[in-house]
Structure 1
Amino acid sequence: MGAAYFYHLTDSPLETTLPMLIGKARDVGWRVLVRGSHPDLLKRLDDLLWTGRDDGFLPHGLAGGPHDADQPVLLGDVPSDGFSCVMSIGGADVDAGEVTNLERVCILFDGHDGAALQHARGQWKMLTDAGCAAQYWAQEDGRWAKKAEKTGVS
């Protein structure tokens, strides 16, 4: 049974945090879906992942290509079948079944956007009420700190 990790972005933007989290997920061998429903944001992240890291690019693809099933990281608004980890960006929805069936669900949200905060709070409540384990991480003095945790119900 997996868990949902909520990342409250305040100091570091999505463009910094997402590649770091993808790198950590890939280091443990997970296939990652970056779920977002805004094509412009996904395209911007696609460009970033090809060129944005000091140690090279993160191999990935945009959903809808001929090799989606072969991508170690796929960006798009598609089902989570075949992935170990889903990273939700831009308010993309996840459900309790995904949290249960995946190794990890990461929900990244902009701490300076009131609507994004409200949406993340709603996701936290929905997932924890469904019995999913969840952790809330926030930035503190330039580092990530776990601020809350709910254990899942078996």
Structure 2
Amino acid sequence: MAEILFYHHTERRLEDTLPPLLERSLERGWRVAVEMRDADLMEKLDQHLWTYREDSFLPHGTEAAPSPEAQPVLLTTSPENRNRADVRFLVGGAAAENVDAYQRLVFLFDGLDPDQVEHARGEWKRLKAAGHQLTYWQQNAQGRWEKKA
């Protein structure tokens, strides 16, 4: 059964919060998919992941690039697991499908966006009712994650 985590970011933007989580996933040897509903957000994240740090970049591609199946981190608007990801990040209101196909699902949602908060609550209730074990993490004022549930 997949480990399911909810990350509620309030102190930093998605663009600042997501890259370190992706780096940790790659360090563990996991392949990663990042699913979102909005193609504009996908393009924004694609550009950001190449330049967010001066001393490195995060190897990734989008579903529109050649060979999406070869990407260690795949940005996508599709629920398909085209790169055989071990962990799937769901951002911008993406919903979990095929939960048990992953070692880990991570919902990353903006606490300042009421629609994202409501969507995360709905996904929490749905997955909890289906018998999944869930954990909830919230950013503190320093931007660190604190386990709340």
- Asked if TM exceeds 0.5, the reply is yes
Secondary structure (helix, strand or coil) at the match of 1:65 reads coil
Q: Which residue of 2 aligns with 1:145?
A: 146
Match of 1:92 among 83, 91, 94: 94
Helix, strand or coil for the counterpart of 1:22? helix
The structure 1 segments of at least 4 consecutive aligned residues displaced by more than 3 Å after TM superposition are none
Equivalent residue runs for 1:39-118 within 5 Å: 39-78=39-78, 79-80=80-81, 82-95=84-97, 97-98=98-99, 100-118=100-118
Secondary structure of the residue aligned to 1:120 is: helix
TM-score, normalised on structure 2? 0.93
Three-state SS of the structure 1 residue aligned to 2:112 is: coil
Q: Deviations over 1:43-65 (max 9, x none)?
A: 01000101112431101001022
Partner of 2:20: 20
1:101 & 1:39 partners in 2: Cα distance?
A: 24
Give yes or no for contact 2:39–2:77 (8 Å, CA) kept in 1: no
- Gap regions ≥5 residues in structure 2: none
Q: Distance in 2 between matches of 1:110 and 1:141?
A: 14
| TM-score of the aligned structures, taking structure 1 as reference length | 0.90
Overall identity of the aligned pairs, in %: 42
CA RMSD of aligned residues (A): 1.2
